[in-house]
Chain A
């Protein structure tokens, strides 16, 4: 079992071992990155369950593409880009599937039955008015603390587009949530 990862050099060694076919090394990479990977895909998909599916698919794609990864590059950035693509692909497939279903079955963001706060309900509803990319950008920025550049690299969009998406997402949420904020 690989030792705990303390830095880039040790992670690089693990990546190289995984590229040489070590299952233990790949397991270590999963252990190191699964939380961050979950956060990336959770910002893109609409539910916790879809996030789990996307993470599994993302790691599967990463495993298949591992021999094409250059160890001198940051592994995390490469992996999270794959994760984002897996999540976007899942969102696209969900849309195709849902287009064939009754309108009542259109998914809404994951709701915890215990949640009853009006702000949260309004926020969840307001988020459905954003584009998928705007929602992803604002969650990655505000929840995960990604910079505009990191968001751009992860989602495969220019940094300026990430900044613009964030601007429009905030403006939309402000407009939709104005009443509840002014009354609180």
Chain B
């Protein structure tokens, strides 16, 4: 037995294969197919319904949604970090009262200042 060729006794298999896969022989069939091919090429492929268009758009839409979610998440994170940073900065940057102000507060009140002014004149 030869695995690369059918034996003469197996020729019937080849005949059956040829019968099963035989192309149509009617000339009108080929004229019709040619017309359908040219029409298909002319319209640039199958005319698709809106559901097909939606199916085609599903993958890019999902990708766009994923990108939007990622960007939104990053924005929220950034906003929170900014708020925390500002709060921290405001706490550590709150400066104590100046020495002049503190001295003035610690000295005599406004009434004493008037008396000092009169006495000096």
Contacts and interface: CB of A to CB of B under 8 A. Distances in A.
Contacts, number: 84
B30 A60 contact: no
B3 A167 contact: yes
The B interface, classified by DSSP as helix, strand, loop or mixed, is: helix
A91 to B, nearest CB: 15
The A interface, classified by DSSP as helix, strand, loop or mixed, is: helix
B13 A39 contact: no
Contacts of B37: 30, 34, 55-56, 59
A90 interface: no
Interface of A: 23, 26-27, 30-31, 34-35, 38-39, 42-43, 52, 55-57, 59-60, 63, 109-110, 117, 119-120, 123-124, 138-139, 142-143, 163, 166-167, 170-171, 173-174, 177, 181, 184
24 contacts: A27-B34, A27-B38, A31-B34, A34-B34, A38-B23, A39-B21, A52-B36, A55-B37, A56-B40, A56-B41, A57-B45, A59-B37, A59-B40, A60-B45, A109-B20, A120-B16, A120-B20, A138-B17, A142-B18, A143-B22, A167-B3, A174-B10, A181-B12, A184-B12
